[in-house]
Amino acid sequence: MINTIIFDFGGVILNINYHKTIEAFQQLGVENFDQLYSQHQQNHLFDLLETGKIEPEAFVAALKESLPESVTEQQIIDAWNALLLNYPKHRLAFLKEIGEAYPIYMLSNTNAIHEQYFIQTLAEEHPEVNLKALFKEVYYSHEVGMRKPNVEIFEWVLEQNQLNPATTLFIDDTEQHIKGAQKAGLHTYHLLPGEDIAEVLPRVLAELNQ
């Protein structure tokens, strides 16, 4: 019986498109950016940013070294944020509804640059919505110093909230994160391209709670 749900953020709640950031950096002059950063793998520099081990300014400066001298810091930030799209209104309404029936949490691999941008986007698109208020707790990788798919971050979230993995469902759109959660004993659902959490989750819960 599932009594708790942990959601990923990008690709599950917020619409994202990694190719937009890859294309933006290619336009700035980094032809092989897709080999450095994608949904499935990334260079160590990005890991450092996502675990809060380097400041955003150092991250931007490191990227600037491999770009033409004419590229500005703001262009780099804009390219980095290009993957972050929009919040479907029905998805936010669904989170509010499901949060009244279950304790819900959010666990996201993200960074300070993206956080500032997606909070600003939410304020512009849906000023009535407080993202953190939708969840019992929100965990960002750059704030907790760990990231998915490492099993430690799942175990830490479970311990922090005294959750039982046998009754907790984790939902993510990235396969390696699902595998990490499974190592921690969580029930999981891998959200596939084209699926919408608001449509899929009721069916998943019905199947798990039979």
Query: What pLDDT score does 33 carry?
Result: 78
Q: Could you tell me the residue range of the domain that residue 129 belongs to? A: 4-15+86-208
Answer with the one of 81, 96, 113 that is the final residue of a domain. Answer: 81
Q: To the nearest whole number, what is the mean pLDDT of the chain?
A: 94
Query: What pLDDT score does 31 carry?
Result: 76
Task: Say yes or no: 144 and 159 in one domain.
Answer: yes
* Stated length of the chain: 210
Task: Say yes or no: 124 and 184 in one domain.
Answer: yes
Task: Say yes or no: 108 and 193 in one domain.
Answer: yes
Distances in Å between the alpha carbon of 190 and those of 41, 42, 107, 187, 208?
17, 20, 14, 10, 14
How far is the C-alpha of 141 from the C-alpha of 182, rounded, in Å?
A: 19
Task: Say yes or no: 58 and 102 in one domain.
Answer: no
Task: Say yes or no: 76 and 94 in one domain.
Answer: no
Query: What pLDDT score does 171 carry?
Result: 98
Query: What pLDDT score does 139 carry?
Result: 98
Which tokens hold the place of 155?
């175990």
Query: What pLDDT score does 38 carry?
Result: 45
Task: Say yes or no: 49 and 94 in one domain.
Answer: no
Query: What pLDDT score does 210 carry?
Result: 87
Answer with the one of 81, 98, 127 that is the final residue of a domain. Answer: 81
Task: Say yes or no: 101 and 182 in one domain.
Answer: yes
- At 195, which CATH number? 3.40.50.1000
Number of separate domains in the chain: 2
Tell me the residue type at 125: E
pLDDT per position as a tens digit, 72-84: 999 999 999 999 9
The answer to whether residue 27 scores a pLDDT higher than 80 is yes
pLDDT per position as a tens digit, 89-99: 999 999 999 99
Query: What pLDDT score does 34 carry?
Result: 67
Task: Say yes or no: 96 and 148 in one domain.
Answer: yes
pLDDT per position as a tens digit, 118-161: 999 999 999 999 999 999 999 999 999 999 999 999 999 999 99
